[in-house]
Chains A and B, each alone.
Chain A
């Protein structure tokens, strides 16, 4: 296996040979160095051996639950994990995200989408210190000065709305589950009260979005959580 230390390392974990082959072909553009595993145990072993920069993990593995694989990896590494899952298993996705997965993709997916997600992950893991100012399209969030500008005009937010927006922009491009947001902003006691989050998101949208019915910044991942539009 050619190991170029400069190239980002990607570990592909999937038990379907067809999907393995497809992913290998799609990602063999010289941009990444690839390693593969067909089951949970092999995935854990390879992860320890190759120290990948991103892991693509299928949740339906023959030998162990994908969520358990995430748990085990999280015990020693914060490597970004993108979960690949079939449709209609929202609860599985949420479980995986709550366990520490960073993002998910629903099969079938396009290669463009996959590459975009991988790049977001790689960028986030390379970026060590959070930048004080985020610029996304016409929105500018200055974390140091607690200032939110839309098309250059200051938007006034409640302290909670600002906290939610701050969490979104720090994690721009990444899915945040309802529980993750609730826990960060309101604390563990509010985990089962997602409506306070919905109310704040609804208010934020009315303040930030041109058409709240077709949001551009705060995107809803149905049944899972939210994803803030990433830069670029």
Chain B
């Protein structure tokens, strides 16, 4: 083998692509398209024949929507198949049959037949187009067989229109064709088709008859057939290419090209976009469509904005990457974008502007070519004649209110009056300044055109009122003609400059507003620690910025539940269903989209790369707001920010949950250890003592008998205390400290604790020091009593016999302070805080047993009272435990 091995290996990218395609195919259903070049070639018939064959082979084939148009042969083929009922939609009083997508999804057949890929659904259906229904079926893993004529593909429709002169209304994105696993060309010679037409075997609806007469001409049919054959061949070519790529068959692969086309809202845009798509396909290139929003465009009419929106959607459906950019110079923005995305070719249309405007501003094409550098520029010609009609509509400048022109007239009048007052003292040339001032004011206040009008009126007024001969437009001194000309030109230049500056500042202001609203949302989201504060931030910021009503829905089990909603917004079941669809399909839906567009709100799925979190529903003031690129951009940014914040909170919750679980686990382990130890140890001595006494063979003298009994007694007491502590702990833990606070005599409290420990005190001195006039303090007597008992118990256990124990109590107007002091060994400094932790035990002298619960119970109880408890070592040795309670 002469070639190095590794050159023959498929590239990892190619393998990955193939693997992804295979994987996708594993999950998604396979699409088979029966393609023809005209009605009547026998697509449905062929599809049914294939289906019948599969049925015989035992495959699960059902007809979800097949229209036989009453043809006997087709009906005969249908008979052998299971036919799903059609949905009926009421459209303006007429019931129209449609594909019942839910029933089809529910049927879960292996292969589903859906006729007429290019069909447009009745308004009110889930999707605008049938191809979207089919997408959903494929996404659900169902194989779909469908039929279509070649002219319905987006990229082919304008060619077909050129050939036949009949506009194609219903189009399908080329991506459907690209993703089809199989294409079957249904082909009969045009002569045969015409013959069938004559025999009435071709179904043509009544409305289409007039078009059909134009359509079914031998020339058209031959051309269409060629288009169909070519399109099929291109698809085969693609498959071949990808086959060769994955099998590492060497060949000349073109370097990656990238194309860019600009959507301008002009009627040519659509053609430009389609042309670019074809070019991109030929070059195997990626392509971009950008819309540059300039301040003047921002003021464009609603109609034109919708057109821009449609253009961008078209480009997207043809496979372009789409972007909207705000800038003041179209050419500069295009070049900047192109350079950033390594675009190799820019496609532009030949300008159709009139000559005189080019004097003032070079056409955008020229600007682009001048700036393009290494990037190729393709200039595409446009048939102007066919566009004149529309261009009149779309190129109308935004209206300036008539009173602005009136105001410029008033300005000139004002200037003239002023000048007539000073006229005796001034030479006429100086008067020009006042008119210029009027122009500047007009440019600032009224905009470009009123300012130009002001300049013109100024010249006329100057001539008429002040230049000899006065009260006439005649001019004696030709020198003044220069003054007029100068006044006008300077006026126009000033107007233009000022207008441009204010346009720029408008762009800046809009951007600033946008940045600001994003900033506020991001800031609020960053500080939001839980879902409810995220929702509050979302509601506040978005409804303010977009003047919108909105709702956020999050999944709760199987259902979508409202997480937050604007005050006056009401969601009915239908809206919820749209939101649900959007969430499940991870695609936007509702008003202004192609899916379930009869909804009142626009639903955008909230998701990050790793998870799907919910749906944002937005209701804007009117339709045009939905199509504004500005709003869309903001919404997209908002959705991203919200999704990230929600994901952050969710992850934090999960982490916290895991931590809590871990802590609980380790606590449970410690508890179990402690319980088994503390329960068993006393039982050892008790059972041991009892067994010695019970066993009659053992000679137990009185002294031993007494020792055994008192040992067992002590251990039983200890066991009882431990169980009591456990019970208390459980109650503190469970938050079941239903406190019964009553005003309480502190002296009584201390007395009770001492009485409870009476036996254990064994005559040990406990010094009680109470401040005079102690107030009654509100507390739960039983629980606080337990706190004191535990503290005294500890003091008894851990200090040498005979050392002093003291209780101090004093009160300030706000607090009660109770201290238990001992002269024991104290506690190492670093352990002072930990002694209140559960099951924390100090290493203690032998014979002293604690449960490690007493102090943590104290802490729980004191804190439930809103107080605090702490420990410190005393100067001179010993421990001081202090309790601080609010009065």
Contact = CB atoms under 8 A, between A and B. Distances in A.
Pairing of A with B: yes
Given A90-B782, A198-B743, A222 B752 contact: yes
Interface in B795-841: none
B754 interface: yes
Contact of A222 (B743, B745, B770, B785): B785
A213 B751 contact: yes
A214 B747 CA distance: 9
6 contacts: A87-B724, A213-B751, A213-B768, A214-B751, A222-B756, A223-B740
Contact of B776 (A195, A215, A220): A195
B755 A108 contact: no
Interface string A23-34: 000000000000
A132 interface: no
B195 interface: no
B742 A194 contact: yes
Nearest to B785: A222
A215 B731 CA distance: 30
Interface residues of A, number: 20
A61 interface: no
A212 B747 contact: yes
B782 A214 contact: no
Contacts of B742: 194-195
Nearest to B758: A214
A145 B416 CA distance: 121
Chain A CB within 10 A, most for which of B728, B748, B755, B768: B748
Contacts of B782: 90, 222-223
Given A222-B752, A222-B756, A222-B782, 19 more contacts: A87-B724, A108-B716, A108-B720, A195-B742, A198-B744, A198-B745, A198-B776, A199-B776, A202-B747, A202-B748, A205-B747, A213-B751, A213-B754, A214-B751, A214-B754, A214-B768, A219-B755, A220-B752, A223-B781
B727 interface: yes
Given A88-B728, A108-B720, A201 B748 contact: yes
A108 B721 CA distance: 11
A212 B751 contact: yes
Contacts of B751: 212-215, 220
Nearest to A206: B747
A214 B781 CA distance: 17
Contacts of A195: 742-743, 776
Given A195-B742, A198-B776, A222 B747 contact: no
Contacts of B770: 213
Contacts, number: 55
Interface in A177-211: 194-195, 198-199, 201-202, 205, 211
A200 to B, nearest CB: 11
Interface residues of B, number: 25
Interface string B697-738: 000000000000000000010001000100110010000000
Contacts of A88: 724, 727-728, 731
Contacts of B330: none
Query: 6 tightest A-B contacts by CB?
Result: A223-B782, A213-B768, A195-B743, A222-B785, A220-B752, A222-B752
B224 interface: no
A159 to B, nearest CB: 21
A220 B724 CA distance: 20
Contact of A213 (B728, B750, B776): B750
Give the interface SS of chain B, mostly helix, strand, loop or mixed.
helix
B745 A202 contact: yes
A213 B747 contact: yes
Contact of A198 (B728, B740, B748, B750): B748
Given A195-B742, A198-B776, A213-B770, A87 B755 contact: no
A205 B785 CA distance: 19
A164 B728 CA distance: 34
B431 to A, nearest CB: 96
Given A90-B782, A198-B748, A213-B768, A220 B743 contact: no
B814 to A, nearest CB: 20
B199 to A, nearest CB: 94
Nearest to A220: B752
| Most central of B716, B742, B751, B781 by chain A CB within 10 Å | B751
Interface of B: 716, 720, 724, 727-728, 731, 740, 742-745, 747-748, 750-752, 754-756, 768, 770, 776, 781-782, 785
Interface in A148-188: none
Nearest to B742: A194
A222 B770 CA distance: 20
A88 to B, nearest CB: 6
Contacts of B756: 222
A205 B748 CA distance: 10
A201 B724 CA distance: 29
A201 B781 CA distance: 16
Query: Which of A195, A201, A202, A222 has the most CB atoms of chain B within a 10 A radius of its CB?
Result: A222
A118 to B, nearest CB: 21
Interface in A32-55: none
Nearest to A88: B727
A225 to B, nearest CB: 11
B776 A214 contact: no
Contacts of A219: 755
Contacts of A205: 747
Contacts of B745: 198, 201-202
Nearest to A90: B782
Nearest to B748: A220
A115 B30 CA distance: 90
A201 B751 CA distance: 13
Contacts of B724: 87-88
A190 to B, nearest CB: 14
A198 B728 CA distance: 26
A87 B781 contact: no
Contacts of A222: 752, 756, 781-782, 785
Nearest to B719: A108
B804 to A, nearest CB: 15
Contacts of B785: 222-223
Contacts of B776: 195, 198-199
A194 B742 CA distance: 8
A143 B724 CA distance: 42
B755 A214 contact: yes
A194 to B, nearest CB: 6
Contacts of A194: 742-743
Contacts of B781: 222-223
Nearest to B744: A198
Nearest to A195: B743
A96 B18 CA distance: 81
Contacts of A212: 747, 751
A90 B748 CA distance: 17
A201 B770 CA distance: 17
B748 A87 contact: no
A220 to B, nearest CB: 5
Nearest to B728: A88
Contacts of A213: 747, 750-751, 754, 768, 770
Interface in A73-95: 87-88, 90
- With a 10 A CB-CB cut-off, give which of B720, B740, B782, B785 has the most chain A CB atoms: B782
A126 B281 CA distance: 114
A211 B769 CA distance: 11
Nearest to B755: A219
Contacts of B731: 88
A189 to B, nearest CB: 18
Nearest to B753: A222
Given A88-B727, A90-B782, A220 B754 contact: no
Contacts of B755: 214-215, 219-220
Contacts of A90: 782
A179 B747 CA distance: 21
Contacts of B750: 213
Contacts of A108: 716, 720
Contacts of A202: 745, 747-748
B720 to A, nearest CB: 6
